[in-house]
Amino acid sequence: MKSKLRHLVAAVAIILSVLVAAAQENRTLTGIVTTFKQYPLFNASVVTTGSGKSVKTDSLGRFAIECPAKENIKVSASGFKSRTVKTAKQNVLQVDLLFEDNAGDFNEAVSNGHISEKTLSYAIDEELKKSGKDYSKYNSIYELISSELYQVTVKGTSVINKAIRSLDSNPQVLYDVDGKILSDISYISPVYVKSIEFIDDVGTTLYGSKGANGVIRIKLKN
């Protein structure tokens, strides 16, 4: 009887030691999920690859999740390229998700509330200024505008603001090409475009009432 009791106690001790060891291997991972290396993503998904635990990021892109020491995490957000991150011995992470810059991804990212339309548009514009994007793949200036500027709709040679800014029945945007106001931009070949951006709200005050429906600002290569 005593022998059986000793075996039982030993078995319980072994089980407890295994549980304690497992508990000691768990750790809390904290971090922030961003895009363009600085803009936080809200409601991004953080999932442990082994146990399948998941959390969402807060409005500042922050998260905290408990997982075993050797477990990795997968981070994803609609409109962005998902990443599997090897955590190794790190307990604090910054995970940056790549935005591939197309209309579908833009709408997904904004409609799911991961980032505001204004912030994402600004981030894209700033990135374009740094990278000097090649627009030669487009066949016309209007195809370029339709693909690159998410705030406007292109109908033939007419470009209108999706959000009507004036009482004008035809919210045609204004064109600013190298500082000159033009009514016709059909002659511009995409290969000669250095940068293009859409300006609205406060940014249009420089243009007066003519810029009420927004302004497309185009800079050409020298």
- CATH for 142: 2.170.130.10
Residues in the chain: 222
Number of domains comprising the chain:
2
Do both 123 and 43 map to the same domain? yes
Do both 33 and 95 map to the same domain? yes
Domain span at 192: 135-220
Do both 102 and 140 map to the same domain? no
**Global pTM value:** 0.56
- pLDDT digits (tens), the chain, 222 positions: 555 555 554 554 555 454 444 444 788 999 999 999 999 999 999 999 888 899 999 999 999 999 887 889 999 999 999 999 988 878 899 999 999 777 788 889 999 999 999 999 888 878 877 766 788 889 999 999 999 998 899 999 999 988 775 555 668 899 999 999 999 999 999 999 988 999 887 778 888 888 888 999 999 987
Q: How far is CA 158 from CA 4, 52, 145, 153, 161, in A?
A: 89, 50, 11, 8, 10
Per the domain annotation, does 12 fall within a domain? no
Do both 141 and 215 map to the same domain? yes
Per the domain annotation, does 36 fall within a domain? yes
Show which of 103, 131, 159 is a domain's final residue: 131
Per the domain annotation, does 15 fall within a domain? no
Do both 145 and 168 map to the same domain? yes
Those residues with Cβ within 8 angstroms of residue 17's Cβ, 6 or more apart along the chain or in another chain: none
Per the domain annotation, does 117 fall within a domain? yes
